[in-house]
Structure 1
Amino acid sequence: MRPLTVAQAVAAAAVAMRLARGRDRPAPLQPGSSGPAGEPVSVVIPARDEESRIEGCVAPLLADPAVGEVIVVDDESRDGTAELAGRLGATVVAGAPLPDGWVGKQWALHQGVRAAVGPVVVLLDADTRPKAGLCAELAALLDAYDLVSAGPRFVCGGPVEQALHASLLATLVYRFGPIGPSATSADRLLVNGQCLAFRKARMVEVDGFARVRRHLTDDVALGRSLARDGWRVAFRDAGALLEVDMHESVADVWRQWGRSISLRDVTSAARQAGDLGVVWLTTALPVLRLAAGRPGPLDLALLAQRFLLLVALRKSYVRPGVGLVVSPLLDVVAAVRLTWSALLPTRTWRGRHYGCAAVRPGGRPGRPVRSAAR
């Protein structure tokens, strides 16, 4: 048996084991399942040049009875983000200048969490569209967990955008398994920084955002750091309660996913190589061999498995369509983007340039610091 065939078989077995964990997925979050929130919830939204999207996030939160306050941290926006958020009724915190050694989002969250009044804090990105009941369900999970993350349904602007998005999303599933089941170790844990919930007192005590101040993949860095310290971390499907419209075009999907898709700054070089191998061998290679008219039995089995995954991925999209159906045909493109992200990582984000430390392979989050950033 040729070495490439052996390697593909090993990669296929690893993927099959990861996908099988989906049988243990908890039920998706549903509105009203846990009743009203027992404690006031403070929602913190970091925002930099989000005038066109901030209303869709803030307005439903202000109407949610579980939400005691909505804090928008204006991260030195160059548009009317702060003015619009204030007119809507949110509390606007003017972000202080970014200190050396910090990535912008973490600095904004660091300030916003400290400004929060409620004992429970929910973090949302400005491009999220929360629905009534989301914050109450997240707060209820904090009786059993210390950090809760939620996966949304995605809004895509057209079939090509959806196809590329779904293909990139599949690389995460093949590397880490589906949303819900507990990670095999802290080093393989995923969370979604678009939506996080925790108790303020504990996060302030451990100075969580200072730990991950240098990371561009800040959400996963935070989750893994806290999990290593014994925090109970949950990642739940909240598609019925949360939507995200984060991309403006196909080019935007390519650019934004490229920033973090490889998880370069929180993954060792050896593990990255293994993850790339799995994706190329189980998704890209079967498509290439099919295009060449030379698929083997294992290639056909992997292609069948990939198309079966579409059934599960349907629930990840507000309007699943033809783009989702044809997304496996873009798996070679997704593998190229993943490899590019690992080898030539993005260091510029939202008009700011960060140094090598923000993308250094395998960098582990540090401990709390005492500095001007406090």
Structure 2
Amino acid sequence: MRPVRGAVTVAQVAAAAVVVARLARGRRRLPALLPRPAAGEPVSVVIPARNEEARIGPCLRAALAAPAVREVIVVDDGSGDGTARLAASLGAVVVTADPLPPGWVGKQWALRQGVAAARSDVVVTLDADVRPEPGLFGALAATLDRYDLVSAGPRFVCDGPLEQALHASMLATLVYRFGPVGPPSPPPPHRALANGQCMAFRRARMTETDGFALVRDRMTDDVALARCLAGRGWSVGFLDAGGLLEVDMHDSAGELWREWGRSLPLADVTGPGWQAADLAVVWLTAALPVLRLAAGRPTGLDLALLGLRVSLTAALRGSYRRPGAGLLLSPLLDPAAAFRLTQATVRPVRRWRGRTYGQVTGGGRTYGEVSGGGRTYGEVSGGGRPARPARSGAR
């Protein structure tokens, strides 16, 4: 047993050094985006939507009222509810997505069509559940003088302390693996991160590259796109926009466990070696100290790591609209977050919004080759697409 304990201690020391180095980047991270009501160029906003009638209204109203926004395009991806009707009634341009081709995930297919319909060269894509402030769009447009692709980190809205505790624990696994939002220098392409809830780029270059086709089969589409384009020489930024963007991702802790836990490992964009290393870091530095503390046998290193984790909760306060008891209690759920991360790594889920997609192999291959090799990764079952609603305002 002693050799095993010694090996675990050595591994924990190494993992702790990695985490400390990553967290230290926060001292030099890039400043958060500041509001810019107007942009030098008009902005087209593209929102892919599938059965979002209950959530899309606030996002649409905010985007349509922003001074920098020229148009808001909603790509209705086979919704069976009133998404298209609501979007059109509020003044958005509604594009009805064509039937999903083999080898495509629905979001990428919808985004590609929305970008094709845009009239402005500056395009901002949003998920239906985000709540943008008016100054967000001008701020994002300004960043395109420095970046070819930029995504924004939001402030999160959580419903109750349990959801906030679980969310903060899962968020901590990302920080331990990749460091804080707004890294002072770009990471290597294979470790780049992005947030697909809010992205900005120039339409002409994205169209020329056909970026969404390059990652057509990825469930973790945002990170896949960032890594693919960074590998092709694009300057990719991930900036803090917590003062300008909010998102209410899930309705309960159970939904958070299922849905965010599904994508949290980035399994289809990360090679096996990095997956194993990431899991080791999370288990050794976040989960193990809590488990040993619960057993009444923490080591000195465990206590130091617990202190580090508590300090991270303070740093994460700005990531939540109403930080509360859930955030303070989140370290206690780190073993659960580590378990969910492991579960989704070992058994990746490829089901989303009523569609189940074929398994993809080769998560670690170069992203210039992501959809090549003569293979097709098609939709296995579409669950029956509703009849296509009439096109409203499409071009």
TM-score (norm 2): 0.91
Instruction: Give secondary structure in 1 for the equivalent of 2:367.
Output: coil
Change (3 A) 1:169 1:274: same
Contact 2:53 2:81 survives alignment (8 Å): yes
Shift of 1:362: 2.1
> Is residue 21 of structure 1 aligned with residue 25 of structure 2?
yes
1:365 is aligned to 367
2:266 is aligned to 263
Among 61, 64, 69, the alignment partner of 1:62 is 64
Contact 1:47 1:77 survives alignment (8 Å): yes
> Is residue 38 of structure 1 aligned with residue 75 of structure 2?
no
Amino acid at match of 1:19: L
Instruction: Give secondary structure in 2 for the equivalent of 1:2.
Output: helix
Contact 2:231 2:368 survives alignment (8 Å): no
Contact 1:74 1:94 survives alignment (8 Å): yes
| In 2: Cα distance, 1:10 partner to 1:87 partner | 57
Matches within 5 A, 1:234-313: 234-313=237-316
2:383 is aligned to none
Among 91, 96, 107, the alignment partner of 2:109 is 107
| In 1: Cα distance, 2:325 partner to 2:348 partner | 31
| In 2: Cα distance, 1:17 partner to 1:10 partner | 11
Of 20-29 and 192-201, the range deviating more from structure 2: 20-29
| In 1: Cα distance, 2:186 partner to 2:202 partner | 22
2:198 is aligned to 195
Segments of 4+ in structure 1 off by > 4 A? 366-371
Amino acid at match of 2:246: E
Amino acid at match of 2:17: A
Contact 1:45 1:124 survives alignment (8 Å): yes
Contact 2:289 2:302 survives alignment (8 Å): yes
2:236 is aligned to 233
Matches within 5 A, 1:70-89: 70-89=72-91
> Is residue 167 of structure 1 aligned with residue 169 of structure 2?
yes
| In 2: Cα distance, 1:57 partner to 1:90 partner | 11
Contact 1:264 1:360 survives alignment (8 Å): no
Shift of 1:366: 4.2
Shift of 1:30: 1.6
> Is residue 207 of structure 1 aligned with residue 203 of structure 2?
no
Contact 1:74 1:82 survives alignment (8 Å): yes
2:391 is aligned to none
1:304-344 deviations in Å (ceiling 9; x for gaps): 00000011110110100000000000000000000011001
Shift of 1:112: 0.4
| In 1: Cα distance, 2:269 partner to 2:328 partner | 32
* Runs of at least 5 residues in structure 2 that lack an aligned partner in the other structure: 379-395
% identical aligned pairs: 64
Contact 2:76 2:84 survives alignment (8 Å): yes
Task: Give the total of aligned pairs.
Answer: 369
| In 2: Cα distance, 1:337 partner to 1:218 partner | 20
| In 1: Cα distance, 2:38 partner to 2:75 partner | 27
| In 2: Cα distance, 1:363 partner to 1:313 partner | 33
| In 1: Cα distance, 2:87 partner to 2:156 partner | 23
> Is residue 326 of structure 1 aligned with residue 300 of structure 2?
no
Contact 2:271 2:362 survives alignment (8 Å): no
> Is residue 94 of structure 1 aligned with residue 99 of structure 2?
no
Amino acid at match of 2:84: A
Amino acid at match of 2:21: M
Amino acid at match of 1:290: L
| In 2: Cα distance, 1:366 partner to 1:342 partner | 23
| In 2: Cα distance, 1:74 partner to 1:143 partner | 31
Amino acid at match of 1:199: R
1:22-53 deviations in Å (ceiling 9; x for gaps): 11111111213xx6201110000000000011
Contact 2:169 2:331 survives alignment (8 Å): yes
Shift of 1:360: 4.9
Amino acid at match of 1:12: A
Contact 2:32 2:241 survives alignment (8 Å): yes
| In 2: Cα distance, 1:175 partner to 1:16 partner | 11
TM-score (norm 1): 0.96
Contact 1:258 1:345 survives alignment (8 Å): no
1:47 is aligned to 49
Instruction: Give secondary structure in 2 for the equivalent of 1:166.
Output: helix
> Is residue 10 of structure 1 aligned with residue 14 of structure 2?
yes
Shift of 1:259: 2.0
Amino acid at match of 1:259: R
1:104-139 deviations in Å (ceiling 9; x for gaps): 100000100000000100000000000111000000
Contact 1:258 1:346 survives alignment (8 Å): no
CA RMSD of aligned residues (A): 1.6
1:186 is aligned to 189
Of 258-267 and 3-12, the range deviating more from structure 2: 258-267
